[in-house]
A and B are shown apart, each in its own frame.
Chain A
Amino acid sequence: MGKTIAEKILSHKSGQDAYANDIVVADLDFVMGQDGTSGLAIRAFEDMQAKKVFDPSRIAMVIDHSAPSPLQGVSALHKQMRDFAAQQGIYLYDIGDGVCHQLLPEQGHVVPGDLVIGADSHTCTYGAINVFSTGVGSTDLAAGLVSGKLWFKVPETFKFVLNGKLPAGVYSKDLILYLIGDVSADGATYMAAEYTGEAVDDLSVEARFTMSNMAIEMGAKVGLMRADQKTIDWVQAHSKRVIQAVESDEDARYARIKEYDVSSLEPQVAKPHTVDNVSPITEVVGTPIQQGLIGTCTNGRLEDLRIAASILKGKKIHKDNRLIIAPSSRQVFIQAIREGLIETFVQAGAAVVTPGCGPCVGTHNGVPSDGENVISTANRNFKGRMGNPNAFIYLGSPATVAASVLKGEISDPREHIE
């Protein structure tokens, strides 16, 4: 019987002929922790009475969630990570280097065919480049650090077939929000999502990351795509590692298959306080906004900044709005400076902050006030997510956020597209 991408990678890494629902113990190609999860993982590593990590060249810790440190307690956690990294010889990405999910592919640590865990739920992002990558907690991370292995239940696969071409002003963010709204927050729980079809093939690799990043928002373990020539070219530009790309077999068995025609899709917005509370933008246009956020592991890449800058160029954001820009990495930041995008944002009235996760996870860098509405390119709009349970978060594409802060209300970005 044929296999899905998920079944193939987990078979290969475990040495077992594995199918959905089998339990395997498999070898990990890369292991990652961030500053919200590494502290507990280091504690568990010590409690396991381990002395050395399995392979320092396959481990990174990333200081991104509260970076630079806004608090004394956080500074202690950061120091603990720096000390552990120095002592074990693992990679450490410090403040300003970027968001973990941008860094792992960008720095060439992960390539097609890999099996990767990260102590962060959005580790599913690298599925876009054909990596079986999934989020775990701190104790699982510690087990990975010690042994280079983890147990997995091989997931069933939910295949999304996306036909047609996305209209102008409609992006991969709109597409994934639409899918989450359609299948709901637990529509793919315990499953691997697999995105296929013409609409996926047409996307840039950067835009594909957005879709895989949000697989967790429908409960999925990973959001996989096949590796096409675009993937191979992108990966080879970032990594020297050997690529072992994997495709699903024609006769692979899927738990569920859903087909969509994306050619008349409108921009989508997720309304407070769940990611699956999705509407076409035409239903929410005019909702007053006080703050915008463009950045995060979902939409802080160069392409996202270019789209936002093209709408904001030569204009000023609404006088009663704030706009926060958080490039997803140092490299993205540098390139955005070179291309004049950062100047465009600052001239338009934006505040540009250190590459990192702060505003999205509510640790610092833009906590909204009571009763305020925020429009954000992030992946979660849970109550309290940005640090205030009395604020309201709407999610949209970088184009939607840029168009909205110009008017001070949720606005259709298609008005800015020729």
Chain B
Amino acid sequence: MDLQGRAHKFGDDVNTDYIISGRYKFKTLDMKELARHVMEDLDPDFYSKVNKGDFIVAGRNFGCGSSREQAPLAIINADIGAVIAKSFARIFYRNCINTGLPLIECDTDQIDPGDELKVDLEGGVLYNLSKEIEIPITPLPPVMLKILSDGGLVEHFKKYGGFNFE
């Protein structure tokens, strides 16, 4: 699977309250509506700046804080193709795999705002087309690849009726 788009850059410790604030997420299960408020407290115009397939690029510990699954779902529904960060918080990490949002762990210091990026998930490489460099990415553990390749945890359960990592 190849992903391509522009980088929207954020810092370290972007928590799930910033991704989608509690003042919205309790109101509705309509993810298209929640998506309009994604990253709003860090950048009020973020939603309107995103083109389909763009990337959120961040530093360490992306997705820390609350376990709200509305966070990856709001990102997906804002048409973000993937999140690229130096590291991720663990509940957010699981939630992304379960809901089918690709995560890319790599050194993001070599990515600037607006850079055009292309990601080869199977090949494990990120291309920064603007800077003409390749950045290696950390591969996903086999259990997570299995869930992602089944199309998320709901599809995995529909297929097997429970967990199946044989």
Chain B, 42-77, contact with A by CB distance < 8 Å: what is the 0/1 string?
Answer: 000000000000000000110011111110110000
- CB of B129 closer than 8 Å to a CB of A: no
- CB of B98 closer than 8 Å to a CB of A: yes
- CB of A362 closer than 8 Å to a CB of B: yes
Q: Could you say which of A25, A142, A153, A384 contacts B41, with CB atoms under 8 Å apart?
A: A384
Given the interface contacts A71-B27, A121-B66, does A143 sit within 8 Å of B13 by beta carbon?
A: no
Give the shortest distance, in Å, between B91 (CB) and chain A (any CB): 5
Number of A interface residues, CB 8 Å?
A: 56
Which of chain A's residues have a CB closer than 8 A to the CB of B27?
Answer: 71, 73-74
Listed stretches B15-23, B102-110, B115-123, B130-138; interface member: B15-23
Cβ-defined contact, A382 with B89, below 8 A: no
Interface size class of B (residues with CB under 8 A): 35 or more
Q: In B121-163, which residues have CB < 8 Å from any A CB? A: 141, 143, 152-154, 157-158, 162-163
Known: A121-B66, A380-B65, A389-B21. 15 other contacts (CB 8 A): A23-B141, A43-B29, A48-B158, A73-B28, A120-B67, A136-B91, A136-B94, A139-B152, A149-B163, A153-B141, A186-B87, A219-B90, A380-B66, A382-B15, A384-B18
Cβ-defined contact, A37 with B162, below 8 A: no
Bound CA–CA A66/B61 (angstroms): 28
Give the shortest distance, in Å, between B25 (CB) and chain A (any CB): 6
Which of chain B's residues have a CB closer than 8 A to the CB of A189?
Answer: 61, 87, 89-90
- CB of B95 closer than 8 Å to a CB of A: yes
Give the shortest distance, in Å, between A150 (CB) and chain B (any CB): 8
Cβ-defined contact, B68 with A37, below 8 A: yes
Q: Could you say which of B18, B73, B143 contacts A382, with CB atoms under 8 Å apart?
A: B18
- Looking at B65, B66, B163, which has the most chain A CB atoms within 10 Å of its CB? B66
Which of chain A's residues have a CB closer than 8 A to the CB of B154?
Answer: 44, 47-48, 139, 142
Which of chain B's residues have a CB closer than 8 A to the CB of A149?
Answer: 162-163
Q: Which residues of chain B have a CB within 8 Å of any CB of chain A?
A: 13, 15, 17-18, 21-23, 25-29, 41, 60-61, 64-70, 72-73, 87, 89-91, 94-95, 98-99, 141, 143, 152-154, 157-158, 162-163, 165
List the 5 closest A-B pairs by CB distance, nearest first: A137-B95, A186-B61, A139-B98, A137-B69, A138-B69
Cβ-defined contact, B13 with A186, below 8 A: yes
Given the interface contacts A219-B64, A382-B17, does A49 sit within 8 Å of B23 by beta carbon?
A: no
Q: In A137-155, which residues have CB < 8 Å from any B CB? A: 137-140, 142-143, 146-147, 149-151, 153
Cβ-defined contact, B162 with A121, below 8 A: no
Bound CA–CA A324/B68 (angstroms): 25
Cβ-defined contact, A274 with B99, below 8 A: no
- CB of A40 closer than 8 Å to a CB of B: yes
Cβ-defined contact, A186 with B89, below 8 A: yes
Which of chain B's residues have a CB closer than 8 A to the CB of A216?
Answer: 65
Closest chain B residue, CB of each to CB of A146? B157
